Every structure is written in structure tokens, then in C-alpha cells.
Amino acid sequence: MFGVLTVVHLALGNLKDDAASLYLAVMSVIGVLSYAAAFLFIPITALETEAARWRQKLIGGISLIKAFLP
């Protein structure tokens, strides 16, 4: 996650000084997404069943959203 946030920080440039609240929001969203991706896809033995359970919930949620879209 540190690497991802470092790359985003470098990509955003002077946004930290110009629009601090937007910078914080972008960094927070990217941090949450990278943490969630690591939790779901990095094969940690102790978390396999929990990650599989969350993957199933995400798939079910996506299927539910697709059912209501035209």
C-alpha cells in the first residue's frame, strides 16, 4: 500500500498544496481500494476463508446491481 500511495502522491504533484481536501480524499480512496484488493487477492493462509466469503458477497452485490440495470 505504501508503494501505491507513493506513486499516487508523485502523480498528483502540487495538488497537496493547491487543494488539500481533494488530495486527502483521493489518497484515502486509493488507500482503501489498495487495502481491499490486497485483502481479497493476496493469498494469506489465515485469511483464505474470510477473503473467499467477501469475494462471494461482492459477486452477489454486483449480480444484484446488474439485475436492476436496464
- What would the grid cell of residue 61 be? 452485490
What are the pLDDT digits (tens) for 4-62? Answer: 999 999 999 888 888 999 999 999 999 999 999 988 888 888 888 988 898 899 899 99
Say if residues 13 and 42 touch (Cβ distance below 8 Å). Answer: no
Q: What is the pTM of this model?
A: 0.69
Please give the Cα distance from 4 to 38 (Å, whole number): 11
- In the three-class reduction of DSSP (H, G, I as helix; E, B as strand; rest coil), residue 65 is classed as helix
Of the candidates 22, 25, 31, 29, which has an alpha carbon nearest to the alpha carbon of residue 1?
A: 31
Q: Give me the residue spans of the domains in the chain.
A: 2-68
